[in-house]
Chains A and B, each alone.
Chain A
Amino acid sequence: MTTIKCDIVSAENAIYSGDVSMVIASGVSGELGIAPRHTPLITRLKPGQVRVHHTDGTEQEFYVSGGILEVQPDLVSVLADTAIRAKDIDEAAAIKAKEEAENLLQDSNKQYDLAQVQADLAKAVAQIQAISRLKKKLKG
C-alpha cells in the first residue's frame, strides 16, 4: 500500500510524524484530502481539525488553530500555529505591548525598579555596618 509521510510541527513542539495513507485538513478555500502522490500545493489552514488516516484504517485527529499546509508528492507538512491568529487579535497584542512600555516610562520617575532599590539597600546596610564598626573601635 502506498503511503505519504506526514509531519505536523509547531514552533513549540513536534506534534506528529509518520507514514499515513491520507491527510484531511480544512484549508481557507475548502476541505482538502491529500493522498499519496498529490500535486505540490501550499495553502493556508483555517482553525480546525487535521485528520490523518493510518494504513491500518484507524484515524487520528489533531486540532490546529490555523497554519500552513505544504504538499509534495511524498510529503505533507503542516506548520501549525500555536494560537488563533486574526488581524484584530494581533493588533490588540501589539497595543498591549506598547501600553506596557508607556506605563513603565511614565512610572519610572515615581516607582523605583526592584534592582535599583536592592542596590541602594545593600549600600545603606554596608554604610551602617561601617559606622557601627567605627564606633566600636572608638569605644574600645
Chain B
Amino acid sequence: MAVGSEIVTKIKSVKSTRKVTTALEMVSASKIKKAQDQMETSRPYVNKIKEMINHLAQATPEYKHPFMQDQKADRVGYIIISTDRGLCGGLNAGLFKQCVINMREWEEQGKKIDVVTVGNKATSMFKNSSVNLKANISSLGDNPKLAELIGVVKVMLDAYTQGEVSHVYLAFNDFVNTMTQKPTVDQLLPLPAGEEQVSRDNWDYLYEPDAQDVLDNLMTRYIESLVYQGVLENLASEHAARMVAMKSATDNASDLIKDLQLVYNKARQAAITQEISEIVSGAAAV
C-alpha cells in the first residue's frame, strides 16, 4: 500500500523549486562582483568631470549654464531606474514607494509629474498611473551601455532647458552592501551649486573652441554619467537583493521539506503499526 503518496509528490515539487532558487541564488552571487567592478571603473570618469565643472564654473562666472539656473514650470520630472525582472524581494516596491512619497509632495503644491523610466518594472508601474510617462528604455541586460541611455536622458534634459519641468530627480537603489540597498531619490537638476574651492593661484585653462562650448559638453556628459552610475548601482542592488531573496526561499523550501518528511515518516510508521496489529489480532482470532 502506498502510504502518503500525496506527501511524496509534494516533497518532490518543493525539492525542484529549491533547485531553481538555489541556481538563481548562485547566478546572482556571481554577478554581484562584476556589477561592483563596473561601478568602480566608472567612478573616476564622473569624479574627473565633476572636478572640471567646478573649475569651469569658477573660471567663467559670467556664464551660467541652464542646468545651474532655476526654472519656473508647473511640472516636475523623474528619471526612475528599476530592474527588468522580478524575484528580487521588495527592491522595486521600496523604490517606487519613495518615488510616490516624493511625487505626492510636489502634487500637493499643484505640480504635475513627468516620468522617464529605465527598466520594465518601473514602466509597468507608472504607465497605468496618473503620471505622464514621457519615455522609457528597458532590457539593458547585465552589461548596460551608456550609449543606450543617451535618448532617455536627453528627453528630460530637453524638457528642463525648454522650461517644461522645474526639477529633475533621479531615483535608483543605492548599493550599500550585499545586505543593504537604499532606495534613493536624488535631485539632478538644477545642479546644486559646486562647493567652494580654494583659489588655485589664479591659473586658468586654455579653451578650445571656448569655455562655453566645453562647459555645455561637459554638463550633458556629467548628467548622463550620473544616470549611468545609477543604473550600475541599481544593477548591483538587483543582484544582491535577488541573492538574499533566493537564499531565504531556499531555506524556507528546506524547512518545508523537513516538515513534510516528518509527516510522511509518521504516516508510514502509523500504517505499519496498524498493519502489524491487524495481522496479530487476525492471528489471535484464528
Contacts and interface: CB of A to CB of B under 8 A. Distances in A.
Interface of A: 7, 9-14, 27-29, 39-44, 68, 70-71, 77, 79, 81-83, 85, 90-98, 100-101, 104-105, 108, 113, 115-116
A83 B135 contact: no
B44 interface: yes
Contact of B135 (A27, A90, A97): A97
Given A68-B214, A93-B150, A98 B135 contact: yes
10 contacts: A9-B44, A28-B209, A42-B206, A85-B150, A94-B150, A94-B151, A97-B135, A100-B135, A105-B127, A115-B86
Contacts of A91: 154
A101 B48 CA distance: 33
Interface string B126-168: 0110000111110000000111001110110010000000000
A90 B154 contact: yes
Interface size class of B (residues with CB under 8 A): 35 or more
Contact of B203 (A40, A79, A92, A115): A40
**Chain B binding site: helix, strand, loop or mixed by DSSP?**
helix
Nearest to A81: B221
A43 B150 contact: no
Contacts, number: 128
- Most chain A beta-carbon neighbours within 10 Å: one of B41, B117, B147: B147
Nearest to B135: A97
B136 A77 contact: no
Given A10-B45, A94-B152, 17 more contacts: A12-B146, A14-B44, A28-B208, A39-B206, A42-B52, A42-B207, A42-B214, A44-B209, A79-B45, A79-B48, A82-B145, A83-B146, A90-B151, A97-B152, A100-B137, A104-B127, A104-B133
B214 A11 contact: no
Interface string B109-137: 00000001100010110011000011111
- Most chain B beta-carbon neighbours within 10 Å: one of A12, A82, A85, A104: A12
Contacts of B155: 94, 97-98
